[in-house]
Amino acid sequence: MTMHLELLKIDSLHKTFKKHKVTAVDNASFSIFKGEVLGLVGESGCGKSTLAKLILRLIDADKGSIFYKNKDLLKISNGDMRKARKDLQIIFQDPYASLDPSMRIGEVIEEVYSIHKNVSWHERKNKTIELLETVGLGESYLNRLPSELSGGERQRAGIARTLATDPEFIICDEPVSSLDISIQAQILNLLIELQKRKNLTYLFISHDLGIIASVCDRVIVMRSGKFVEEGQCEAIFINPKHDYTKELLTSSIGFLDKKPK
């Protein structure tokens, strides 16, 4: 795989929540290359979701810079940022919370087209159906409400919305952790397939090392706002350097062959 094009470069990004006096992200610096899947693993409250929201400017960073194709996202106007969002997308953890409960699935996707005007008006419906089929749903889902869908179907709808802007980079923020294991495997398959087919770049956030191992090229281990280790998946999983990484590994690689003590 060729991965020399630096798509996103994050430089000493910092965020402290004043109300709780918590440093959620402490001087994070890293790069993501075109076409790679970068894993971000850590336990709850380590700041990984905050980092995701910071990168997309869904919350404001205290300082630092986010270069997307050599443009600092933190320095551009709100209007330009709205346009840039076309290329930078996010899939949320809880597919139920991430869909407007009052909107039908078709409307959710068509709304993206009406915001970005990237699809002409009379093509919108066909495009929407096409997209729903891409994620394994179909035309019959157009007029359904999120509450009428199962967890897996909702996450598929969420992924369809994400794809509607035809993004280059997607942050997957725990995209399967609220799903049952059989559905989880389906969604992971869908994400892996999409990534390969469209040469997408993912920042894949998860607390589950098994999931990180099965989808990522590179991984960053995060703890209390700080990066403790970063490297190729193989290196980290086979030869972890940091104690915390070791602890995570011994805690989570039980899988099938583990004997009870």
Nearer to another protein, 27 or 117 (CB): 117
> Distance (Å, rounded) from C-alpha 166 to C-alpha 147?
26
- How is residue 73 annotated by DSSP? T
Q: Is 116 in the site for another protein (CB under 8 A)?
A: yes
Q: Is 15 in the site for another protein (CB under 8 A)?
A: no
State the nearest-atom distance from the C-beta of 121 to another protein, in Å. 17
Q: Which stretch binds another protein (CB under 8 A): 5-13, 20-28, 61-69, 146-154?
A: 146-154
Amino acid occupying residue 234? E
State whether residue 60 is helix, strand or coil. Answer: coil
Residue 175 in contact with residue 215, Cβ under 8 Å? Answer: no
Q: Which stretch binds another protein (CB under 8 A): 7-15, 69-77, 111-119, 121-129?
A: 111-119
Query: What is the per-residue DSSP string for 122-188?
Result: GGHHHHHHHHHHHTT--GGGTT--GGGS-HHHHHHHHHHHHHHT--SEEEEESTTTTS-HHHHHHHH
Q: In the chain, what is the greatest distance between 2 CA atoms, to the nearest angstrom?
A: 64
Q: Is 30 in the site for another protein (CB under 8 A)?
A: no
Q: Is 5 in the site for another protein (CB under 8 A)?
A: no
H/E element, 247: helix 243-252
State the nearest-atom distance from the C-beta of 38 to another protein, in Å. 14
- How is residue 141 annotated by DSSP? G
State the nearest-atom distance from the C-beta of 246 to another protein, in Å. 11
State the nearest-atom distance from the C-beta of 7 to another protein, in Å. 17
Q: Name residues whose C-beta falls within 8 Å of residue 193's C-beta, 6 or more positions apart in sequence.
A: none
Please identify which residue in 161, 172, 194, 200 interacts with another protein, judged by CB under 8 A. Answer: 161
Q: Is 85 in the site for another protein (CB under 8 A)?
A: yes
Nearest residue to 52 (alpha-carbon basis) of 190, 170, 178: 170
State whether residue 67 is helix, strand or coil. Answer: strand
Q: Is 148 in the site for another protein (CB under 8 A)?
A: no
Q: Is 117 in the site for another protein (CB under 8 A)?
A: no
Our CA dihedral for 23, 29, 33, 37, rounded to 10 degrees, sits at -30
Sign of CA dihedral 216, 220, 221, 222: negative
Applying the rule CB under 8 A, the residues between 57 and 76 that interact with another protein are 58
State the nearest-atom distance from the C-beta of 188 to another protein, in Å. 6
> Distance (Å, rounded) from C-alpha 172 to C-alpha 39?
9
Q: Is 203 in the site for another protein (CB under 8 A)?
A: no
Q: Which stretch binds another protein (CB under 8 A): 19-27, 66-74, 108-116, 125-133?
A: 108-116
Please identify which residue in 38, 61, 68, 92 interacts with another protein, judged by CB under 8 A. Answer: 92
> Distance (Å, rounded) from C-alpha 8 to C-alpha 220?
15
Residue ranges in contact with another protein by CB under 8 A: 43-44, 53, 56, 58, 82-83, 85-86, 88-90, 92-94, 97-103, 111-112, 115-116, 150, 152-153, 158, 161-162, 164-165, 180-186, 188-189, 192-193, 207-211, 213-215, 233, 237, 247-248, 250-258, 260-261
